[in-house]
Amino acid sequence: MAPRRLDLTISPLEQDKSVNTLLRHELGLSGGAVRRAKSTPGGITLDGTPVFTTAQVAPGQTLSVQVGGFGTAERLVPTPGPLNICYEDEDLLVLDKPAGLAVHPGPGHRHDSLGNFLIYYYDSIGLLADFHPVNRLDRGTSGLMVVAKHPHAHEQLGRALHTGAFRRGYLAVCRGVPFPREGLIDKPIARAENSPIRRQVSPDGAFARTNYRVLGAQDGRSLIAVFLETGRTHQIRVHLSFMGCPLIGDFLYGNEDATLPGRFALHAAYVGLIHPITGADLRFHCPLPQPLADLLPGVSPLEKSILEDFCESHF
């Protein structure tokens, strides 16, 4: 398949404007995206002919720019593996990541990460695309992840994070019942002393805000909806532990649970986003996995609209 390109038909109002102006202001490309296209043969064309960014345009012409298929400096090793693709188009995918699967290669997971699986999938269908995760999930967390296929979509979505253009909702099962049953945890988070992984609430930490609502409780456990205003490392885990209600199975901030091997009770259940190219309002839901639902058998199944309304109400 050909690399992803964006096209713009020049209107009379855009007559005599430079290619660079149209790339930056009409197509929304960053300086980096323009430089990548300039350095690629045929990366920027006007009516099919390569042009410099200083060229001026005329009404009726078609400006075309390559935004994908550049590859990465260190390409991941393609590895066959399971993928649950909820949505896919030319610019992005939405995946349901299982718990226990690392997003990136790392120690002990050099060739069996989500990135390896996705590169193999691209190669199997002849797609020139890259691996650019937008919202990242811990290995022990399941649920919805958005992955951009090219740097331009990644840049646009990255700017949208923690705004009304990119909303994320989680379901969690924690020990105890948070009090009050709905609220905002507004506590800064920093690295814990003597640990390269663990985080903690600290007055010297980075600004962090977590909204939550208790949806049901049973036998000293609670099902809660969580909406993030910020995206600090381990934010939900740290904030709930700080409240005295750590996630079930969280070995780092609470206790392991034999019924949840390889995971803890956190699931990315909702993503709402404005498409970075088309502007469409996309919304995705992913139900609570059965192992987490089994932790609270007496709590009624959650209607997806409740979590969506909780997330959307903050914008």
Q: Which residues are catalytic?
A: 138
Contacts of 32 by beta carbon, 8 Å cutoff, 6+ apart: 151, 155
CA dihedral (204, 207, 211, 216) positive or negative? negative
**Paired sense of beta strands 209-218 and 221-228, if any:** antiparallel
CA angle centred on 286, ends 284 and 292, rounded to 5° = 155
Residue 275, exposed/middle/buried by CB under 10 A (0-12, 13-18, 19+)? Answer: middle
Q: Beginning with the edge strand found earlier in the chain, give each strand of the sheet holding 49-50 in spatial order.
A: 5-9, 62-66, 44-46, 49-50
Report CA-CA distances (Å) from 165 to 27, 136, 170, 250, 281. 18, 17, 17, 30, 8
